[in-house]
Structure 1
């Protein structure tokens, strides 16, 4: 949504698409999970009196809109993509089929996963962890508005310090707001590092994918050592 309060900002989509193209040109295989909070959040809807399951489905549909916007931005600059939705909608995009997604990536396409898990009560974080495990990803990169995980909210506490690395156990024990607990546990159990970085900085995605840039890496303790 860029600097707006809601909706889809084409300039932001184009900038992120450029980041993804640069990462692809550097030789990285990429699949993407998109959220829908810029359009509708299930929890917010439930708080306003909408049945939680219905609100979550509405949020999943919002992610499909974002996925199509990202697909459009990528295709405009020559990046071949496929959108796969966990909620089948054949007139709009492919259904999520793991083997087909793997084949698309083998052919050099960027696969965009939409509609979450297709089930209510699961977050976009959990979807990202699940898809990362299913697609045998080497790492899960979480793009946020800050450049890592801090011991306090850096937007509110000037003295907040960033962690270079953390263990999954520390994140869960201290309830650090990296991703929700289910997503962290899924990554821990499948030994998939989580890299938290600022997606809003120019060139950051390609930098962190190459092991450079500023980020926080969450991984198993033996990997930390």
Structure 2
């Protein structure tokens, strides 16, 4: 593949601590991404904010303000993970849809393409810049904008199931599933807005467990033990 969008779960990056960062986990991610970058793959990254903040869990704070806190959580995540990527020998750039002083650049497709041309990894932080849109939606939106070939969805769960495997030991994992079935059955891949964006723009996804050995490298090469979300 020439260009992919990698979505990292904030919770997965936190490891067993479930909050903050687990540096060995993030370093392992960085080493895998470097292998792909060295092979010529252009990689954009979106990171969830769940290791710091889940706005929907608060019934006290106004939803708009809660979502703004979540956007800033993703900026913190991208700054941290970007630095770990640099520590293993990659060049990076962080883009946001709003001004963040000198810490990030404002996102545009032209700036992102210039970043890829310089063999940098592009981090897309700050969500869409608007409340009521998740990082799932950000992931699909940025993937469409940068014309990625597919979305690599690295999660704490190792694929798409017909029910929650944490509560149902008999949950069935799909090897592949069509995006229409994801929407019709409300399968927990990405949220509904993101699923419809994928369907309308024919953006495929590969869903896999972050903690499996070389999972990102294998997913980029189409060799996953997780689930392929089909759009054709």
Q: Does the TM-score normalized on the shorter chain lie above 0.5?
A: yes
Pick from 150, 153, 157: which aligns with 2:164? 153
User: In structure 1, what is the equivalent of residue 126 of structure 2?
Assistant: 115
Pick from 173, 191, 195: which aligns with 1:162? 173
User: In structure 2, what is the equivalent of residue 20 of structure 1?
Assistant: 33
Asked whether the 8 Å contact 1:32–1:113 carries over to 2, the reply is yes
Bigger share in strand: 2
Post-superposition offset of 1:152: 2.1
Please report the RMSD computed on the Cα atoms of aligned residues, expressed in angstroms.
Answer: 1.3
Post-superposition offset of 1:192: 0.8
Task: Indicate how the Cα distance of structure 1 residues 97 and 65 shifts in structure 2: closer, same or farther if over 3 A, else same.
Answer: same
Pick from 20, 32, 36: which aligns with 1:7? 20
The TM-score with structure 1 as length reference comes to 0.93
Q: Write the distance in 2 (CA, Å) between the matches of 1:19 and 1:154.
A: 27
Pick from 51, 54, 57: which aligns with 1:44? 57
Task: Report the 3-state secondary structure (helix = DSSP H, G, I; strand = E; otherwise coil) of the residue aligned with 1:166.
Answer: strand
Structure 2: give runs of 5+ residues left out of the alignment: 1-13
Asked whether the 8 Å contact 2:163–2:187 carries over to 1, the reply is no
Task: Report the 3-state secondary structure (helix = DSSP H, G, I; strand = E; otherwise coil) of the residue aligned with 1:27.
Answer: coil
Asked whether the 8 Å contact 1:150–1:161 carries over to 2, the reply is yes
Deviates more, 1:152-161 or 1:102-111: 152-161
Asked whether the 8 Å contact 1:133–1:192 carries over to 2, the reply is yes
Task: Indicate how the Cα distance of structure 1 residues 213 and 5 shifts in structure 2: closer, same or farther if over 3 A, else same.
Answer: closer
Give yes or no for the alignment of 1:95 onto 2:98: no
Task: Report the 3-state secondary structure (helix = DSSP H, G, I; strand = E; otherwise coil) of the residue aligned with 1:30.
Answer: strand
Q: Write the distance in 1 (CA, Å) between the matches of 2:57 and 2:35.
A: 35
Post-superposition offset of 1:182: 0.7
Pick from 128, 136, 141: which aligns with 1:125? 136
Asked whether the 8 Å contact 1:26–1:206 carries over to 2, the reply is no
Q: Deviations over 1:99-157 (max 9, x none)?
A: 10111112211000000000011000000000000000111111111221112222332
Q: Write the distance in 2 (CA, Å) between the matches of 1:2 and 1:146.
A: 12
Q: Write the distance in 1 (CA, Å) between the matches of 2:160 and 2:45.
A: 21
Post-superposition offset of 1:160: 2.0
Post-superposition offset of 1:162: 1.3
Q: Write the distance in 2 (CA, Å) between the matches of 1:86 and 1:154.
A: 35
User: In structure 2, what is the equivalent of residue 70 of structure 1?
Assistant: 81
Greater relative contact order: 1 or 2 (C-alpha under 8 angstroms, separation 6 or more)?
2
Q: Write the distance in 2 (CA, Å) between the matches of 1:198 and 1:19.
A: 14
User: In structure 2, what is the equivalent of residue 32 of structure 1?
Assistant: 45
Post-superposition offset of 1:202: 2.1
Structure 1: give runs of 5+ residues left out of the alignment: none
Deviates more, 1:7-16 or 1:30-39: 7-16
Deviates more, 1:72-81 or 1:8-17: 8-17
Alignment length (residue pairs) = 219
User: In structure 2, what is the equivalent of residue 202 of structure 1?
Assistant: 213
Give yes or no for the alignment of 1:57 onto 2:86: no
Q: Write the distance in 2 (CA, Å) between the matches of 1:4 and 1:87.
A: 30
